Structure 1
Amino acid sequence: MKWVESPEHGKGGPDWVENHIEALITVAGTHLGVAKAMAAFLSGEMKDTVQINPAGAYVLERFFSRKERQKLFRSWAGSASMWIKGGDDVWGNATWAPDDLDNTTHSHGALISFRNNSVGIDGEDGLFNMTSTEAGTWILERTPTTFQKMLASNYSFGLERDVEKLKANNLDFTKWTNPLEIQLPYAPSMKMYCVYGHGKETEVLSPTPLTPTVTLSTHTPSQRSYWYTQQEYEYDEVQPDQPLAVCTDDTGASTGADCVSPRTPLDLPLARSTHIDADYTDDATRPKILNGVKMGEGDGTVSLLSLGAMCVEGWKRARWNPAGIKVVTVELPHNPVATIPRGGGTTSDHVDVLGSVALNEIILKVATGAGDEVTDSYVSNIREYARRIKWD
């Protein structure tokens, strides 16, 4: 919408959205970024890759290694839009996070943590548990300059509170993917609907003469933060960034698909291999840790803070919503059908929610002019979590 309004791009003018858009529905919107994107950029990993069985892990590493996945994720410029936004004011500090549970053992505010036995703790590498801001800097230090330049020239991940700067940011395309640094269009008659899933899994066993009806209700968690470890030294990706780097193949020619940049004699492996500590599992902690992944609330992929904080709190403030656009939030409980692989019409898992009957009913109501029938509906504590964020 900022693109179409911009005088340098869409040239639609400041009233284009008001005149042409009746309603906007964000489905499982990653408004404030995704924690798994940070792990993917750092080490080519995420919950999906560390929680597979040993045989699957071997095959994956053999044919599509962490290094290869890491390079692939970094090569997709658009994926950087999922870098988490807002810094420590949104995601918490070293000891606290807005979505921490009561009596938490390990705060989600530490986006990347290391166990005391990790290589480099209190040693030459100076490792420490990192907040989202510290982790972002640490990750960038381990990426090629090409990725760093791409990120700096296309994206911004801060939190802007000054209204005049927010107005100026409306014309800065590097801010457009960050709702914390721009304002919603001035479209008072437009309506917004935030619809996303929240993890509750229910299984009902069919009753028999010897088996009473049993309902199991458990929380289906999302990856929220990570435990990492370091291993042996390895070469980093600095060499290809050097001004005089030359790509040659085995014959010495400077062309060819298999060419590589030769390393100088003193180019030693100085960077330690860093990856998720998949050996670390502890169900007794709060939040529980599964294969190095600290689990939190969400839709299985996206953290609850990213899904709903802007909808229930951020866009309720005139600073980011000057026209007072009405924002309705609908949380869909995750109640998959056990016999259907993708969960059926009652799932609310990320992506699979597109097959949700409740979601499609909402879309049809909005599209047919009955959007007023859609009202706020919550199954999580997102309003409480959002109030804890340092908006001011």
Structure 2
Amino acid sequence: MSKPLSFYRSYFLSKTMSFLRRRNGTDSSKTRVADPNIKKDGADDDDDKKKDQYKIPQRRNYGSKKWSCWDNCCWFIGFICSIWWFCLFLYNTMPDSIPQFVTMAITGPLPDPPGVKLRKEGLTANHPVVLVPGVVTGGLELWEGRHCAEGLLGKRLWGGSFGEFYKRPLCWLEHISLDNDTGFDPPGIRVRPVTGLVAADYFATGYFVWAVVIANLAHIGYEEKSLYMAAYDWRLSFQNTEIRDQSLTRIKSNIELLVATHGGKKVVVLPHSMGVQYFLHFMKWVETPAPRGGGGGPDWCAKHIKAIMNIGAPFLGSPKSIALHFSIEVRDIAALRAQAPGLLDKDVLGLQTFKHLMRMFRTWDATFSMIPKGGETIWGGLDWSPETETHVAKGNKLTNSSNCDIWLEYHEMGNRAIKAVADHKVYTAGSILDLLHYVAPKLMARGASHFSYGIADDLDDPKLPNAPDMEIYSLYGVGLPTERGYIYKVAPPSDCSIPFQIDTSVDGDSEDSCLKGGVFSGDGDETVPIISAGFMCAKGWRGKTRFNPSGIRTYNREYKHAPPANLLEGRGTQSGSHVDLLGNFALIEDLLRVAAGATGEDIGGDRVYSDIFKWSERINIKL
């Protein structure tokens, strides 16, 4: 044992001494370099020169190298990500009181949400609540698809992050479109509505629809057993939702269950946008004898519904629907098209955007419910409108001809047909349906089997149910320019997909003109004009009329638009915009008070800022 130990000891000492010698040599060399009176050995001089020659060029090359564009981009992305993660780290680690303190320092004390405010007043959940979402706001998920949609079973195609739209747009369009002949899913595809409150709480990540209303209902005691989201496939015609999914039957059953489990208390229904039209259809269906209807009898609504609080209601349609069916344009899209001409029309990266969007949109039969109803009696003509009494301006159609056959619906229109449309010059609410029948006969034939657009002669179809104790509210935003009419031109020959475009070069004669960028505007919520949202509750159903034989009480409640006071307010707590209205504190307070048991008179009856009652009197209709 002693021999190995001595061996290791001597080995360790030798290594230690050699290390010390190297250290001493290094120190002495440093000392010699520092002292100018001591000369280096020749070998050391040669070594130092070699080292200098080796090191200096490397440093020069490295210092003279410039950053490429790729380096700058990577550095910028890394910098932004680092800042983002650092801020996220601070946000998650700091106490909750600090962000609130900063917010209050910038904006001042924030008002309590309506639910918190009313809970302090002692209001609690009372009547069960039914939410009816509108067009495009409800989620849709895939249950069967083509080979290109492999791996998407049970995932959202509509709503959420829209990730599949970016990954495989043509496959997504194929699955989200309906069959042009049947109005149902194409063979081999099954897309169904998402169910539950999550169906329409958010449209996309961070973009609320019903989430704010649901949160405030929860503040006064509501929960999922007292709330019901009446989700349906908003692409299908209303009756087809029953044929395919039994959606109307599900609504009937869930309302009956809510009433039964809440001690006989009737429901308060909150439909939004096209959901208003859908629920009107439901009330007619539920009274109709089976098998054609729900078989609930003529008193079903009186037994089960306390109030219907229609939000952003397009009772008489929306002119936007005409523009979308005709050219897949509205004001904002037309402005974008003018700023980037050709970008959306041409075959960019293999995608003819407008062509595919029109093909998809024209398969959604439910959108026919938004076409303006009542003709010139309601909407006016060339020489008058209910809002102005006099005519605003005359629109001229530009008639430059095109040199190619045009795809418009699922057939081709030749040059002569396009010129005939342009030569007519002006289309009003009374003739616009004839135009759609001319340019899209298959589309309109399918729509005519489900919807009508005139003033009814058969009152058994449009009249309200026999429910004298029920209340109907029309809650809508005002103070925003809302599309009312359009000036079109024939597209240049190079843009052969859709032959008609909004002429954004046309403006009115003055700054105050209602004609700007080829679009006539009136007052409303940016989507539904006041006359459509307000007329029925202001006059058509007010008192006992032929459309309201039982005298259901009606109320108009308007919400004047005010933009967000600061960025921290998000989309605004006083917004009158069509969707943002669902975050309006005043509207939510009205909803909560009625759900808690208040009547229309308890919350103040009518509240209007526009001249809706004056405009309604100008409409000459037999009541």
Equivalent residue in structure 2 for 1:384, among 611, 614, 618: 614
Q: Point out the structure with max Rg over C-alpha.
A: 2
CA spacing shift, 1:56–1:229, aligned 2, 3 Å: closer
The within-5 A match list for 1:1-392 is: 1-7=283-289, 8-52=292-336, 54=338, 58-61=342-345, 62=348, 63=351, 65-100=353-388, 105-106=392-393, 113-115=395-397, 117-119=398-400, 125=420, 126-145=423-442, 147-160=443-456, 162=457, 165-167=458-460, 169=461, 182-199=462-479, 220-232=480-492, 273-282=499-508, 284=510, 287-316=513-542, 317-340=544-567, 342-371=570-599, 372-374=601-603, 375-392=605-622
Letter matched to residue 334 of structure 1:
H
For the residue of structure 2 that corresponds to 1:380, the secondary structure is: coil
The normalised TM-score by structure 1 is: 0.74
Q: Does the 8 A contact of 1:233 with 1:272 survive in 2?
A: no
Task: Give the deviation of 1:285 after TM superposition.
Answer: 6.7
Cα shift readout 1:282-335 (whole Å, capped 9, x = no counterpart) = 361764222211111111111111110111011115110001000011000001
CA spacing shift, 1:349–1:336, aligned 2, 3 Å: same
CA spacing shift, 1:373–1:64, aligned 2, 3 Å: farther
Cα shift readout 1:155-198 (whole Å, capped 9, x = no counterpart) = 111102x4xx212x2xxxxxxxxxxxx10101000011111100
Q: Does the 8 A contact of 2:298 with 2:466 survive in 1?
A: yes
Task: Give the deviation of 1:96 after TM superposition.
Answer: 1.1
For the residue of structure 2 that corresponds to 1:133, the secondary structure is: coil
Separation (CA, whole Å) in 2 of partners of 1:159 and 1:285? 36
Letter matched to residue 86 of structure 1:
G
Separation (CA, whole Å) in 2 of partners of 1:55 and 1:286? 23
Task: Give the deviation of 1:51 after TM superposition.
Answer: 2.3
Cα shift readout 1:230-251 (whole Å, capped 9, x = no counterpart) = 135799xxxxxxxxxxxxxxxx
Percent identical = 32
CA spacing shift, 1:272–1:12, aligned 2, 3 Å: closer
Please list every run of 5 or more consecutive structure 2 residues that lacks an aligned counterpart in the other structure: 1-282, 402-417
For the residue of structure 1 that corresponds to 2:459, the secondary structure is: helix
Cα shift readout 1:104-146 (whole Å, capped 9, x = no counterpart) = 5417xxxxx324x5437xx96232211112112112211142x
For the residue of structure 2 that corresponds to 1:29, the secondary structure is: coil
Separation (CA, whole Å) in 2 of partners of 1:127 and 1:98? 24
Say how many residue pairs are matched.
Answer: 312
Higher deviation after alignment, 185-194 or 66-75: 66-75
For the residue of structure 1 that corresponds to 2:610, the secondary structure is: coil
For the residue of structure 2 that corresponds to 1:130, the secondary structure is: coil
Task: Give the deviation of 1:53 after TM superposition.
Answer: 7.1
Task: Give the deviation of 1:56 after TM superposition.
Answer: 5.5
Cα shift readout 1:176-222 (whole Å, capped 9, x = no counterpart) = xxxxxx101010000111111001xxxxxxxxxxxxxxxxxxxx311
CA spacing shift, 1:72–1:114, aligned 2, 3 Å: farther
Higher deviation after alignment, 332-341 or 50-59: 50-59
CA spacing shift, 1:57–1:76, aligned 2, 3 Å: farther
Q: Does the 8 A contact of 2:399 with 2:419 survive in 1?
A: no
Higher relative contact order (CA 8 A, sep 6+): 1
Separation (CA, whole Å) in 2 of partners of 1:343 and 1:283? 33
Q: Does the 8 A contact of 2:338 with 2:504 survive in 1?
A: no
Letter matched to residue 297 of structure 1:
D
For the residue of structure 1 that corresponds to 2:393, the secondary structure is: coil
Q: Does the 8 A contact of 1:345 with 1:355 survive in 2?
A: yes
For the residue of structure 2 that corresponds to 1:166, the secondary structure is: coil
Separation (CA, whole Å) in 1 of partners of 2:370 and 2:364? 11
Separation (CA, whole Å) in 2 of partners of 1:151 and 1:342? 39
Q: Does the 8 A contact of 1:342 with 1:352 survive in 2?
A: no
CA spacing shift, 1:134–1:275, aligned 2, 3 Å: same
Please list every run of 5 or more consecutive structure 1 residues that lacks an aligned counterpart in the other structure: 108-112, 170-181, 200-219, 236-268
The two structures, once aligned, show a CA RMSD in angstroms of 2.5
The normalised TM-score by structure 2 is: 0.47
Task: Give the deviation of 1:386 after TM superposition.
Answer: 1.1
For the residue of structure 1 that corresponds to 2:500, the secondary structure is: strand
Letter matched to residue 166 of structure 1:
L
Q: Does the 8 A contact of 1:198 with 1:333 survive in 2?
A: yes
Task: Give the deviation of 1:64 after TM superposition.
Answer: 5.5
Cα shift readout 1:320-365 (whole Å, capped 9, x = no counterpart) = 0001000011000001214247531111111100000011101101
Q: Does the 8 A contact of 1:198 with 1:297 survive in 2?
A: yes
- Higher helix content, 1 or 2: 2
For the residue of structure 2 that corresponds to 1:327, the secondary structure is: strand
Q: Does the 8 A contact of 1:49 with 1:57 survive in 2?
A: no
